[in-house]
Structure 1
């Protein structure tokens, strides 16, 4: 707990050394009590938010963790309040500590305890008897629970068609997350009788919500960027919960084909009545042009949400948000959420844009910085000539970061923006001594490969090549060198070396869910049964799922034959 520490010191134990309620003792107790009340309230609020999200996603482990956080907050709140009430009554610190300890142990007040002869270790026989009963009760409860678990395990093994299949197989050795296209993932074929894994069942239970939302308002942020506020058509709260930094996927029927595009939710999860996405109009973007040019207030939009793991809930102390261009959207969700919760630690918000008129959310960031003393905003413009911009100029550089964030090597960093900007920022952070495990990134941009719904045909092998270069503008034909077999649909298609599994599936009408098509959302995860693939981007694939044979269809490529569960 705390920004750089927490209430871990033995507060009530230290009160035993204070026999009298002096002015100094009263000051110390009041300060610690108020501190505990503040952190208790913060822990309860955070725990409630995490509990709400865990219940919405059916994550029982997260429910237990959130409930533990709420209990800890209540304990801190109760201890602080009890201390304030005691010093108001003039209770001596030592008596205050003893009363608190007795209350936590469920022992009666001192005056209610029976007067008996002292027992061993200076304890009364009443205390010894109570403690012995509690220990016996605890041991009996543990034995009963152990016996129940053994019976349940034996019953599951008898009912399973193949008991051995329930034992998790050891994960194949991997070299960690991929660092480029050369990262090859060999994956064995699982036994046909293997029961579905618990992880797969959990993932299916956490499918994102899909449905229709209504456009309640449209705000123009810059000449090329608009914010779309979406609400539940029938009124009330939006029908899903999300964490700051997650995104939603917009779908639309355009020219007879279904197009999809993912956009980060820019609004705060604390705003339950609506969600907002901020979209830049791209000339080659089907959905962005559709939203900017055709969608109006009152229109319905098909949405799937939430998705993504680029999140920050405020559990860690201090956060550095570095964004470029429209990559500011996940950072705004985090900043809005943290300021809504009165996050007590430092928030450093660094932003880079090409020109001042393209500074998205400039007025709101200035407002938030005035209202929250622990929010520090620094911006730089690549081109500021001929404008009234008085701030920093140039790209987000090592010098700009070091000047804006003190002691950045000990802070957590979230980074989002165009790929060139992110590569330069990563290099600068490495030079500043920021460990890689403290940097969390999310890239954005146009999807790699063919456009959604436009399968790439695989022509027959070309004739013998003629001397000389390929004429300008003439497409180089895609030549298949392998096959991919889709086991669920029973179809087999050709697979070229530069073609993804998702593109090969679209070419023969095999349905695989997808969203971002750039390897960050994880919507296109499928199980690889035979073969080996390379994946250029794996941000949407947790290492434990990769070890179990899961791949991202939008990124997986191979020069050999594959078998995929789709």
Structure 2
């Protein structure tokens, strides 16, 4: 039940209760005094002193409530009112004797007549009033007259049997205190709540409980996934068995470094270490944008056609293998370094230079358009840098070998790396200066980035930088204490050979120099995506004997066996048997085709792409491995 009680009305109600109690006590005291004599005060002959802590509010309210309930005091004309105890007698009407009831009836009539007189007089005075105070006084007397008339009329009705007198008195009190009547029909509600409200509360409670349960389930699921990732076990690294140098296999699993996510990239192994995964991703990516960087270089932005992020993660400096079908029934594959930053999860970018004799590059430049699908596998490669292996980095690039350096540079600037970045780039001419605008913008934005570019000025272009190749003097002027810094280098073989000699003169130890020589970046500028021919074997290493008997190779994962002629590599045998082994350069320098040799012995003419730790564990390069006449078992 709703009650709206103002502070004034609440105080008034308390005062009414006190006044009723006081009236009853006073009546009892008068009866007691009459019994014992006029000379003895009520209450046992002792006058009760006023309590010092009595409330001022009670002192103020009691006379007013006596006049309100009992009708005692002077009226507006100064005469003593004879309406003594009207409301209190009306409340106790059933217990009154006949004389008291007659007095109540007389007082009710008097209230009616007095109220009508006050209403008429106040109405006339209000009509003649010319001031605000006079009108307010008329309104007050009009309200008092109305109250008298209403109470008297209601009392007459109660005395006449139309309504119980006690209910009339209580109704008058509620009206004066502004207390609402109890809403009918709610007595059977539980705790004053209607059934509709109860159903609504139950429904909201069920919805809340369901949402809480879903949130708890989600948190547990996230915890389980995080726990599974944190506790993922890496294959153990047992002690290798004794084996002949370079060719004997030690049957032990290789350590696997995770290159699928960016979190492990902060703990990436140094360049040259194995970053293989047991299963690399392969599938189709959609060409969402093609950007022309120079007259002969295009950038292809690739994205997952079914999701808003890539289906794989990669490290800055890794590469992808692209497979195309330039002719019906014939496929060609080539590897291209990722130029975009791993922080861009929605897409990956490959920057490709068109070569007249390059089958894949010509197909990408001439045939591929936006919205086409490309078959891609990877990522591969260990030529990576994430900023955790050194406090500064020197990046030296030539031609399209700038692509892995741009991936590293973009990653370091995206993550606000604090170390010094020295970026050297050499190109034939300003017309072939790839990413020129971006490099100039990044250098202006990041004070820790220092760019040095050297090339010939093409006709019709502006170039204020040094002309010609990168020189020893340029490096000395730009990089202080270069012998103590980590260096990454990628470019055409001629450029890389010259720079090796310069860095050796500057005292750079081999442990500080990391190079990449695979796919387009490892080739001469005129033939950047042609197949690289294997280098001749060293003088102290005899060529494989032409009289080696043919053998067989078994691919343990695929469950396929194939013949292995003496002049055929494991990669060639796998291609003939339909076994998928990723590859890139086919020259033994990129390391993309590394596989585990489980049984037998092989010879390899070139093995620069094989990390020493992997070689000790029995891994070989499929593009270089040839049999020695004994059956081979390869994990592929």
Instruction: Please indicate the TM-score interval, normalised by the length of the shorter structure.
Output: 0.5 to 0.7
- Residue in structure 2 matching 1:185, options 246, 252, 257: 246
Q: Provide closer, same or farther for how the CA distance between residues 61 and 517 of structure 1 changes in structure 2, counting only shifts above 3 A.
A: farther
Q: Secondary structure at the match of 1:271?
A: coil
TM-score with structure 1 setting the length: 0.59
| Deviation for aligned residue 1:61 | 8.1
Alpha carbons 1:526, 1:553 under 8 Å: kept: no
| Deviation for aligned residue 1:394 | 2.1
Q: Provide closer, same or farther for how the CA distance between residues 205 and 370 of structure 1 changes in structure 2, counting only shifts above 3 A.
A: closer
- Residue in structure 2 matching 1:319, options 385, 393, 411: 393
2:356 alignment counterpart: 283
| Deviation for aligned residue 1:253 | 2.6
Distance across 2 between alignment mates of 1:547 and 1:343? 35
Query: Would you say 1:495 and 2:556 are equivalent positions?
Result: no
1:550 alignment counterpart: 619
| Deviation for aligned residue 1:348 | 0.3
1:397 alignment counterpart: 471
- Residue in structure 1 matching 2:600, options 506, 518, 530: 530
Q: Deviations over 1:119-158 (max 9, x none)?
A: xxxxxxxxxxxxxxxxxxxxxxxxxxxxxxxxxxxxxxxx
Q: Secondary structure at the match of 2:498?
A: helix
Query: Would you say 1:486 and 2:576 are equivalent positions?
Result: no
- Residue in structure 2 matching 1:197, options 249, 253, 258: 253
Distance across 1 between alignment mates of 2:504 and 2:233? 33
Q: Deviations over 1:158-200 (max 9, x none)?
A: xxxxxxxx993435478xxxxxxxxx6130475xxxxx73747
2:419 alignment counterpart: 345
Alpha carbons 1:515, 1:524 under 8 Å: kept: no
Superposition pairs of residues 284-303 of structure 1, within 5 angstroms: 284-303=357-376
Alpha carbons 2:240, 2:250 under 8 Å: kept: no
Greater shift in the superposed pair: 321-330 or 527-536: 527-536
Distance across 1 between alignment mates of 2:384 and 2:277? 20
2:70 alignment counterpart: none
Query: Would you say 1:250 and 2:322 are equivalent positions?
Result: yes
Superposition pairs of residues 101-140 of structure 1, within 5 angstroms: none
Q: Provide closer, same or farther for how the CA distance between residues 59 and 507 of structure 1 changes in structure 2, counting only shifts above 3 A.
A: farther
Q: Deviations over 1:478-514 (max 9, x none)?
A: 9774424212323222122xx5332344356555333
1:51 alignment counterpart: none
Distance across 2 between alignment mates of 1:200 and 1:337? 24
Extract unaligned runs of 5+ from structure 2. 1-224, 259-274, 524-528, 532-544
**Cα root mean square deviation, aligned:** 3.5
Distance across 2 between alignment mates of 1:275 and 1:398? 35
Q: Secondary structure at the match of 1:393?
A: coil
Distance across 1 between alignment mates of 2:424 and 2:257? 40
Superposition pairs of residues 452-467 of structure 1, within 5 angstroms: none
Distance across 2 between alignment mates of 1:384 and 1:204? 42
2:240 alignment counterpart: 170
Distance across 2 between alignment mates of 1:511 and 1:495? 21
Alpha carbons 1:495, 1:504 under 8 Å: kept: no
- Residue in structure 2 matching 1:306, options 368, 375, 379: 379
Alpha carbons 2:584, 2:590 under 8 Å: kept: no
Distance across 2 between alignment mates of 1:534 and 1:299? 39
TM-score with structure 2 setting the length: 0.52
Distance across 1 between alignment mates of 2:257 and 2:341? 30
| Deviation for aligned residue 1:528 | 5.6
Alpha carbons 2:324, 2:360 under 8 Å: kept: yes
Q: Secondary structure at the match of 1:490?
A: strand
Distance across 2 between alignment mates of 1:513 and 1:290? 20
Alpha carbons 2:426, 2:470 under 8 Å: kept: yes
Q: Secondary structure at the match of 2:470?
A: coil
Distance across 1 between alignment mates of 2:627 and 2:341? 41
Q: Provide closer, same or farther for how the CA distance between residues 390 and 277 of structure 1 changes in structure 2, counting only shifts above 3 A.
A: same
Q: Provide closer, same or farther for how the CA distance between residues 167 and 320 of structure 1 changes in structure 2, counting only shifts above 3 A.
A: closer
Q: Deviations over 1:400-441 (max 9, x none)?
A: 322222211111000001111111111111111111111111
Alpha carbons 2:483, 2:507 under 8 Å: kept: yes
Extract unaligned runs of 5+ from structure 1. 1-53, 64-165, 175-183, 191-195, 455-477
1:116 alignment counterpart: none
| Greater relative contact order structure (CA < 8 Å, 6+ sep) | 1
Greater shift in the superposed pair: 401-410 or 214-223: 401-410
Alpha carbons 1:480, 1:494 under 8 Å: kept: no
Larger radius of gyration between Structure 1 and Structure 2: 2
Q: Deviations over 1:19-73 (max 9, x none)?
A: xxxxxxxxxxxxxxxxxxxxxxxxxxxxxxxxxxx98x9686899xxxxxxxxxx
Superposition pairs of residues 262-277 of structure 1, within 5 angstroms: 262-277=335-350
| Deviation for aligned residue 1:361 | 0.3
Q: Secondary structure at the match of 1:344?
A: coil
Q: Deviations over 1:342-390 (max 9, x none)?
A: 1111100000011110110011000000000110000111576885433
Q: Provide closer, same or farther for how the CA distance between residues 422 and 204 of structure 1 changes in structure 2, counting only shifts above 3 A.
A: closer
Q: Provide closer, same or farther for how the CA distance between residues 486 and 265 of structure 1 changes in structure 2, counting only shifts above 3 A.
A: same
Alpha carbons 1:528, 1:562 under 8 Å: kept: no
Q: Provide closer, same or farther for how the CA distance between residues 380 and 560 of structure 1 changes in structure 2, counting only shifts above 3 A.
A: farther
